[in-house]
C-alpha cells in the first residue's frame, strides 16, 4: 500500500521539473512513510511513497524495466492477491524476477499482456505505467474502487495521484470547486468518475485509462453483470463459505504484523473467526481491535439504529476465536479535538464525512498502527449480502431514487433553511439526484423472467455495490492511509461480489433476516450471540459532552460573520443550533457539516464558483 503521483507532458521536458514532482510526491508521505522514489523521462515523471508490506528490502518503487525502445516504469499502490500464481505463469513464459514483490509481477504482466493484464488481477490496486516504447501512460484501478485514483487533463498531458492533494500540489492547478462539485459533495450519491474538484476526475473502478499525444481514452475491463444463478440454496451457502476461506487466506499474506477490525457484528466476526482458524492451524494467533467509548456499554441507550452496544459481542468473538484482543476506548474530548477534525479533512481533501464516525475511525486506525501495519475489515458485507435497513424498508424499495437517501433524508438530511437561499436554489440537489439515479439504473440488466420484486431488489443491490460502497471505501482508505495503515476488505473480492449479486433475493434473506447467506455460511464459527444479533451500524458516541464541544467550536465561527462558510450556510441556522440543549440526529449532522466546511475552507482556500 502506497501513494503514487505523476505528470505526463508531451510538450515539456519534465526532467527539469524535479522540484514540482518532489512536492507532489511529498503530499503522499502519510500513505507511504517507509520510502520515497521518483522516475523521470523527457515527457513523464513518476513519484512514489512506500508503505512496505511484501518483500520489504526488494519492493522499492518506481520500478522499471529497460527495453531497446525505451523504459517501462510503474508506480503501484495496493495489493495483488494472486501474484504468486501470476509470477509462476510469467516465469513459465520466460520472465525473470529479481524481487519477491507483487509490483514486479504486475510490471512483467504488462510487458506480457499489455493492458489486458487488468483482467487477470485479483486485488485492490491503483497503478500507473509509463511505457517509454510508445510514449504512453496507462492507469489502472481495481474493480470495486477500493484504492483511490485521480487525474486531471492539462494542455499537453495529465497529472495524476492517489489523492487530489498530489494534483493540487502542482502550481498549474487552481483549487476550484463549482456548483457541480458542491452538488456532488452534498448529494451523497458518489457519481462514478466525479472528483468534486473542478477539472479533476477519478479513474473509474474497473477501467483502464490510456494517455498518449491524442489525449486520454477510457476502456472498461470489468462491470457488474447480470447472470443466471443456477446453484440451489444449500450449494450457494457452501460456495460462499468456500470463497470466504480462499479470500481470507490470500489476504492474510504479509511480511509485517496484521490484525482484524472487530465490531461484534456478523461481518467482522465471521472474517475474524475464519482468520483465527486459518492462523491457528499454523500456530499463530489473530490480533483483533475494536473501537469503544468511555462509559458507552454501561450507559448505553438503545435507539432504532443501534439496539445493542458492540462491546459484549466483540468480547464473545474474541473469547471463542481466542484472539489477542484490545479495545481502543475513546472519550469525548479526543473525538471533538479540532486537530482530529483537521486531520480527517486533510486526509479526505474535502469536507465530506460522518462526524464522530470519521474521527473515531481515524483514532482507531492511529492506535492500531502502533502495533500492526495491515488490518482486515468487514467493510462492504452489508452491500454484498443485503444488510442495511433500506433493503427492507417498503418506502425505500418503492422509491425511484438511491435507496439509502430515503433513510438519510428521514433522519439526517439538511433542514429547510440550512443553506443560504441563493446557494440552495442554485444547487437544485433534487434534480441532480434524480438525473444521477436515472443514469445509474439505465446500466442494470434485468434477467429474463425475473419477478418484479427480484428486479427491484437487483436494482437496489446494484446501486449499493456501484455507488454507496464507494463512499465507505473511500472513507476507509483515507482514514487508514492518513496514519500509514493498510486496510484490506475481503468482502470486496470480485468473485464473491459477482456470485452473491446474482443470487436471488429469496436466498439473501432465506431465514427472514438480513445477510442470510453470510450467516448460514459462517454460523459454525460464530458465538450464538453474534449469529442471532440484530444488525447495528458502526458505533457513534452517546456522550452529551461531545455535542457540547461541537457547539462551543461553532460559536467561534459565529464570532466571524465574514467567514466564507456563511456564503453557503445560513448564519441564523447555526446561531439557533448552538443554543439547543439536546440535538436530534438531523441537527447534529448539520452541525458537523458546518464545522467540516469551515475547516476545509480555511485549510484549502478553494476558489468557489457559485454561479
CA gap 433, 183 in Å, rounded? 9
Q: Active-site residue 492, yes or no?
A: no
| Cα gap 403→525, rounded to integer Å | 32
**Closest residue by Cα to residue 20 from 2, 1, 45, 41:** 45
Backbone angles phi, psi at 376, to 5 degrees: -100, 135
How many Cα atoms within 13 Å fall on the side-chain side of residue 19? 2
Distance CA 530, CA 437 (A): 35
64: three-class secondary structure by DSSP: strand
> How far is 117 from 210, CA to CA, in rounded Å?
14
∠ CA(345), CA(146), CA(5), 5° rounding? 65
Q: What is the DSSP letter of 364?
A: H
Query: Which among 2, 30, 259, 492 is annotated as catalytic?
Result: 2
Using DSSP, state whether 455 is helix, strand or coil.
helix
Kind plus residue range of the DSSP H or E element containing 463: helix 452-463
Beta bridge partners of 79: 124
| H or E stretch covering 136 | strand 136-141
Cα 7 to Cα 155: distance, rounded to the nearest angstrom: 12
What cell was used for 562?
Answer: 465574514
SS3 131: strand
Pure H helices in 6-126:
18-26, 83-92, 102-113
- Walk across the sheet containing 35-40 and list its strands: 35-40, 44-50, 2-9, 157-161, 150-154, 200-202
Q: What is the DSSP string of 466-522?
A: IIIHHHHHHHHHHHHHTTT-EEE-GGG-HHHHHHHHTS-HHHHTTTSSTTHHHHHHH
Residue closest to 262 by CA, chosen among 247, 272, 253, 252: 272
- How far apart, in whole angstroms, are the C-alpha atoms of residue 217 and residue 398? 37
Report the candidate in 420, 415, 423, 360 with the shortest Cα–Cα distance to residue 610.
423
Q: Mind telling me the catalytic residues?
A: 2
Amino acid at each position: 500500500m502506497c501513494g503514487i503521483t505523476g505528470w505526463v507532458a508531451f510538450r515539456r521536458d519534465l526532467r527539469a521539473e524535479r522540484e514540482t514532482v518532489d512536492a507532489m510526491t511529498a503530499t503522499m508521505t502519510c500513505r507511504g512513510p517507509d520510502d520515497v522514489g521518483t522516475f523521470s523521462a523527457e515527457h513523464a515523471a513518476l513519484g512514489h511513497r512506500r508503505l512496505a508490506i511484501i518483500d520489504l528490502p526488494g519492493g522499492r518503487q518506481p520500478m522499471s524495466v529497460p527495453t531497446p525502445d525505451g523504459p517501462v516504469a510503474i508506480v503501484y499502490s495496493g495489493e495483488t492477491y494472486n501474484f504468486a500464481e501470476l509470477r509462476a505463469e510469467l516465469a513459465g513464459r520466460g520472465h525473470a524476477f529479481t524481487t519477491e514483490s507483487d509490483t514486479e509481477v504486475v510490471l512483467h504482466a504488462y510487458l506480457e499482456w499489455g493492458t489486458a493484464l487488468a483482467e487477470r488481477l485479483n486485488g485492490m490496486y491503483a497503478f500507473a505505467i509509463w511505457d517509454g516504447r510508445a510514449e504512453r501512460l496507462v492507469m489502472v484501478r481495481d474493480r470495486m474502487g477500493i484504492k483511490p485514483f485521480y487525474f486531471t487533463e492539462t494542455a499537453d498531458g495529465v497529472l495524476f495521484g492517489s489523492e487530489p492533494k498530489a494534483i493540487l500540489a502542482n502550481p498549474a492547478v487552481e483549487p476550484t470547486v463549482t456548483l457541480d462539485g458542491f452538488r456532488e459533495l452534498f448529494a451523497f450519491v458518489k457519481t462514478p468518475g466525479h472528483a468534486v474538484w473542478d477539472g479533476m476526475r477519478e479513474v473509474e473502478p474497473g477501467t483502464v485509462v490510456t494517455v498518449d499525444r491524442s489525449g486520454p481514452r477510457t476502456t472498461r475491463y470489468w462491470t457488474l453483470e447480470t447472470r443466471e444463478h443456477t446453484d440451489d440454496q444449500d450449494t450457494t451457502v457452501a460456495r460462499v463459505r468456500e470463497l470466504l476461506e480462499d479470500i481470507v487466506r490470500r489476504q492474510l499474506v504479509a511480511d509485517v504484523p496484521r490484525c482484524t477490525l472487530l465490531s461484534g457484528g456478523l461481518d467482522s466476526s465471521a472474517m475474524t473467526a475464519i482468520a483465527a482458524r486459518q492462523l491457528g492451524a499454523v500456530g499463530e494467533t489473530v490480533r483483533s481491535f475494536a473501537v469503544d467509548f468511555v462509559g458507552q456499554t454501561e450507559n448505553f441507550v438503545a435507539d432504532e439504529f443501534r439496539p445493542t452496544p458492540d462491546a459484549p459481542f466483540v468480547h464473545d468473538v474474541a473469547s471463542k476465536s481466542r484472539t489477542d484482543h484490545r479495545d481502543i476506548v475513546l472519550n469525548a474530548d479526543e473525538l471533538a479535538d479540532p486537530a482530529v477534525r483537521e486531520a480527517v479533512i486533510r486526509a479526505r481533501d474535502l469536507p465530506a464525512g460522518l462526524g464522530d464516525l470519521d474521527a473515531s475511525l481515524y483514532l482507531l486506525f492511529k492506535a492500531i498502527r502502533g502495533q500492526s501495519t495491515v488490518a482486515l475489515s468487514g467493510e462492504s458485507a452489508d452491500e454484498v449480502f443485503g444488510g442495511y435497513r433500506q433493503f427492507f424498508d417498503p418506502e425505500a424499495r418503492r422509491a425511484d431514487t438511491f435507496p439509502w437517501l430515503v433513510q438519510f433524508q428521514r433522519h439526517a438530511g439538511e433542514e429547510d433553511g440550512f443553506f443560504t437561499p441563493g446557494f440552495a436554489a442554485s444547487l437544485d440537489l433534487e434534480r441532480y439526484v434524480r438525473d444521477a439515479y436515472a443514469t445509474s439504473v439505465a446500466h442494470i440488466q434485468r434477467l429474463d423472467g425475473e419477478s418484479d420484486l427480484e428486479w427491484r431488489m437487483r436494482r437496489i443491490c446494484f446501486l449499493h455495490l456501484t455507488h454507496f460502497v464507494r463512499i465507505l471505501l473511500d472513507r476507509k482508505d483515507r482514514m487508514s492511509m492518513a496514519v500509514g495503515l493498510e486496510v484490506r476488505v475481503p468482502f470486496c473480492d470480485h468473485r464473491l461480489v459477482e456470485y452473491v449479486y446474482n443470487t436471488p433475493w429469496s436466498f439473501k434473506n432465506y431465514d427472514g433476516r438480513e445477510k442470510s447467506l453470510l450467516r448460514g455460511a459462517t454460523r459454525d464459527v460464530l458465538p450464538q450471540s453474534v449469529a442471532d444479533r440484530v444488525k447495528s451500524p458502526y458505533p457513534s458516541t452517546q456522550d452529551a459532552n461531545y455535542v457540547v464541544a461541537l457547539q462551543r467550536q461553532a460559536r467561534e465561527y459565529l464570532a466571524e460573520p465574514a467567514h466564507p462558510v456563511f456564503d453557503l450556510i445560513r448564519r441564523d441556522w447555526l446561531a439557533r443550533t448552538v443554543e439547543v440543549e439536546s440535538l436530534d440526529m438531523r441537527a447534529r449532522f448539520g452541525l458537523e457539516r458546518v464545522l467540516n466546511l469551515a475547516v476545509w475552507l480555511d485549510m484549502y482556500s478553494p476558489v468557489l464558483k457559485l454561479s
